[in-house]
Structure 1
Amino acid sequence: MTHESGPETVKRVLASYEIGRKLKQLRLRKKIGLVDLGKHTGLSASMLSQLENGKMVPTLPTLARIAMVFDVGVDHFFADRRKKALFSVVRKGERMKFPDRPDAPAPAYHFECLAFSSQEKSLQAYLAEFQPMEAEKVTPHAHEGAEFIHVLEGSLGIYYIDEETVLEAGDSVYFDSGHSHGYRSLAKGAARAVVITTPPRL
């Protein structure tokens, strides 16, 4: 049996997956503009617009960049949305690691998503590595929901509103993430912790 494999055939097959529509759904769900998404992915807003409108066929590396930002697996763009995984395993070697702020010259921390392959979830878990820095360089932020942190290694300083609390290995904290908060390692090396946020966020 002979199968067509020309460019037009490949394009037609990819179009059937409606990758652009799925990309736009993810972006709108997270309430992110094309320009902001471009900053996180390193792709131009015009390219992202063409991808969403089906005017451009994305490469695998391009999809991987977008998938990392939205905390989904690349298979999200090829999956039948009617089939929802209720049991999702992420192996140690499959975790994706990226900085908290891709545009920052010296990110405060890096994190690895522990459940990126699950398409529907009410929380997000990360393995985070916080870097040592001076107190005045900590950049506070706030976001909707709540946050839970359990320190695995090192000494972690958490700024919450106007006060810094020190957590050692084995300590945990739960807080309303709608208030200003920030982190830093207080030791010479990095501090590592499991961070859980709800609702899932970027």
Structure 2
Amino acid sequence: MKNDLAESEKYNESLESFLSSYDVGAKLRRLRLRKKIGLVDLGKHTGLSASLLSKLENGKAVPTLSTLARIAMVFDVGIEYFFDSQRSRRMFVITRARERLRFPDRADNPVPAYFFEVLAFGAKEKRLSAYLAEFPPHKEEELRDHFHEGWELVHVLSGSLAIRFESEEHLLESGDSVYFDALEPHAYRGDSDPPAQAIVVTTRPQM
């Protein structure tokens, strides 16, 4: 019994030492302050008590994987955020053209309305998402509206692109841009051959 207790205490000490090397508490506090949210409000979002969150920030409590997962989900970051060393965390990320992957708008769509490539897939703590998109020509009746939280900016690089916003269609030519509330129903339609190309930037909603 005493041996088991000693082993348990030794394990906890090792775990605390391991976590302290990653400054998990400091990263949590930095993330919370950056989002301008108090301990009580964060507790409401995560289901954790403000006192526990305070202890985590001050290194007086050891977080479980489940606890970190809850916090990561609220702040929309990967759980790896808490385990990146300061040396490996970079806010300057280059994505080479050869590294980009091309995806259709929906995996189940036999005739995609557009294709997109993520321009900064390696960046962490992204406050926005940017894509290089290609829009093959389509008829208006083939469009399907979608919406999501945040704001959206579309800048046409080449070709013609029709954007339907709140049931009204607008035609954008090369060099044109549009900025709108993405929570409203909208859809894209390529209106040129070769396909239109555009940079699409979406922001994450503020908590």
The corresponding residue for 1:175 is 180
CA deviations over 1:97-142 (Å, ceiling 9, x no partner): 1111011111111100000000211000000001111101101101
Note the residue ranges of structure 1 that are not aligned, 5 or more in a row: 1-20, 31-69
Identity of aligned residues (%): 46
Match runs of 1:143-162 below 5 Å: 143-162=148-167
Match runs of 1:14-163 below 5 Å: 25=69, 29=73, 80-83=83-86, 84-163=89-168
Note the residue ranges of structure 2 that are not aligned, 5 or more in a row: 1-64
The corresponding residue for 1:7 is none
Kept in 1, the 8 Å contact 2:155–2:199? The answer is yes
Between Structure 1 and Structure 2, whose CA radius of gyration is higher?
2
Quote the RMSD (CA, aligned, Å): 2.8
Query: 1:187 & 1:178 partners in 2: Cα distance?
Result: 27
Q: Which moved more, 1:162-171 or 1:83-92?
A: 83-92
Runs of at least 4 residues off by over 2 Å: 79-84
CA deviations over 1:30-79 (Å, ceiling 9, x no partner): 9xxxxxxxxxxxxxxxxxxxxxxxxxxxxxxxxxxxxxxx9x9xxx97x9
Following TM superposition, by how much is the alpha carbon of 1:186 offset from its aligned partner in structure 2, in angstroms?
Answer: 0.9
Residue type of the alignment partner of 1:162:
S
Number of equivalenced pairs = 135
Following TM superposition, by how much is the alpha carbon of 1:187 offset from its aligned partner in structure 2, in angstroms?
Answer: 1.5
Query: 2:73 & 2:107 partners in 1: Cα distance?
Result: 21
Residue type of the alignment partner of 2:119:
L
| Matched residue SS, 2:141 | helix
Residue type of the alignment partner of 1:198:
T
Query: 2:182 & 2:114 partners in 1: Cα distance?
Result: 17
Residue type of the alignment partner of 1:134:
K
Following TM superposition, by how much is the alpha carbon of 1:25 offset from its aligned partner in structure 2, in angstroms?
Answer: 4.6
TM-score calculated relative to the size of structure 2: 0.59
TM-score calculated relative to the size of structure 1: 0.60
Q: Which moved more, 1:151-160 or 1:88-97?
A: 88-97
Please identify which structure carries the higher helix content. 2
Query: 1:142 & 1:183 partners in 2: Cα distance?
Result: 12
Following TM superposition, by how much is the alpha carbon of 1:80 offset from its aligned partner in structure 2, in angstroms?
Answer: 4.0
